[in-house]
Each structure stands twice: as C-alpha cells, then as structure tokens.
C-alpha cells in the first residue's frame, strides 16, 4: 500500500510539472543559503534541530556539489561540509535525484527525488523513502532560497484571507498537495534563524 502511495505522489508530480536534471541544477545555483522550511516527521532528524540549511561553499564539479549543512540546537549552530551528487532519471520521464549524507549521520547516504521546482519562488520539494519498522514510507522536504524564504503570497498578519494561498509561501500549497502531509514539521523561523522580525503589513 505504501509503495502504491509513493507511486501516486510521483505520478501527480510528474504529470503536473515535470522536473528534469536542469531544474535540479537550477535549484542549487545560488551562493546563499537554501533553507529547509517544511519536512515530514522523521526519526532521522533531531526533533530540536531548527534553521537547517544547505549552502554551496565552493564551485561544483560537474554533477558533484560541495555544500555546508548547518542547523541550530539549543541556540548553538552546528555545521559540517558534505558532498551531494546529482543524477538524471533512470527512465525517460522520471524526475532527477540528489544523493547526500543524512542530517545527523554523515556515514549514511540518502537519495532524494526532486518532484517540484518553482522558478519564481526559488523553492523545491524533495521526496525520499525510508524503511520504518519493516515498511517503506515516503517522506517530503520543502526547501527555499534565502532571498525568498521570508516572502509569502499574501500578508502574514492578514486575519481575513481571501483563500488559503494568501498566507502560504511558494511551494507550500504544492507540498500539501503532493505529500498529503497535513501536519509537517516547520523547521524555519525568521526570528529564530535570523534574529529579525517579519515585516509589518503595509
């Protein structure tokens, strides 16, 4: 049943906005931080880890990217240098993948599939599967560039939104649509991660 659900997620994502290796390269084409904003609950993450990001720290060599991964625990930053490897699809029409070390275990690798990329919003969604208690389960993560992560489609303090999108950021609605995760873990917080308050409504 779980494999069927993973297949459905992949088919919906591919049929709606087919992503390619070019899109995955674009998603990493920045010299600034790429913040993990939303993620599915997963035991491979520390529950108290906040402000997790990836940041290119030297030029890529082909499909091999060199990144700094950082996050905060108890108000202290922890950082490590990691390597990410991009790959095209094994079959025509399938989305590309990126393989890198796990967040808190650099000895273990995990392969993500890119299922959505928003060029204007500079955000993307990655899907991965893990075996949990003998069952394969799908997990999602939503990332966004630093230059866009504090923007929303509407005013953050609006109490009378026209629809749900007025308080969501780019990629957020797509996360709910593709991942079917009504209660994701929010990893990014502007005050916690940058020490600044969200802008007041105009």
Encode the chain in three state secondary structure: CHHHHHHHHHHHHHHHCCCCHHHHHHHCCCCCCEEEEEECCCCCCCCCCEEEEEEEEEEEECCEEEEEEEEEECCEEEEEEEEEEEECCCCCCCCCEEEEEECCEEEEEEEEEEEEEECCCCEEEEEEEEEECCEEEEEEEEEEECCCCCCCCCCCCCCCCCCHHHHCCCCHHHHHHHHCCCCCEECCCHHHHHCCCCCCCC
Over its length of 202 residues, how does the chain's per-residue pLDDT go in tens digits? 444 444 444 444 444 468 999 999 999 999 999 999 999 998 888 888 999 999 999 899 999 999 999 999 999 999 999 999 999 877 777 899 999 987 777 778 899 999 999 999 999 999 999 877 788 888 999 999 999 998 876 555 444 444 544 578 899 999 999 999 889 999 999 999 998 877 665 5
**What does CATH list as the number for 2-188?**
2.40.128.20
Look at residue 94 in the predicted model and tell me its pLDDT. Answer: 86
């Amino acid at each position: 049943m779980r494999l069927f659900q993973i297949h459905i997620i992949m088919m919906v994502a591919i049929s709606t906005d087919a992503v390619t290796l070019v899109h995955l390269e674009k998603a990493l084409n920045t010299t600034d931080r790429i913040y993990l904003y939303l993620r599915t609950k997963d035991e491979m993450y520390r529950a108290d880890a906040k402000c997790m990001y990836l940041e290119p720290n030297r030029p890529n060599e082909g499909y091999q990217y060199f990144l700094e991964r950082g996050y905060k625990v108890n108000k202290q930053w922890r950082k490590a240098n990691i390597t990410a490897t991009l790959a095209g699809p094994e079959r025509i029409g399938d989305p590309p993948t990126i393989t890198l070390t796990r967040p808190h275990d650099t000895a273990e690798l995990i392969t993500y599939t890119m299922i959505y990329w928003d060029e204007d919003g500079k955000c993307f969604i990655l899907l991965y599967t893990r075996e949990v208690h003998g069952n394969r389960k799908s997990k999602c993560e939503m990332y966004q560039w630093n230059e866009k992560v504090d923007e929303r489609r509407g005013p953050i303090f609006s109490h009378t939104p026209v629809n749900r999108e007025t308080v969501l950021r780019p990629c957020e609605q797509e996360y709910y649509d593709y991942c079917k995760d009504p209660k994701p873990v929010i990893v990014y917080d502007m005050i916690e991660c940058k020490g600044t308050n969200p802008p007041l409504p105009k």
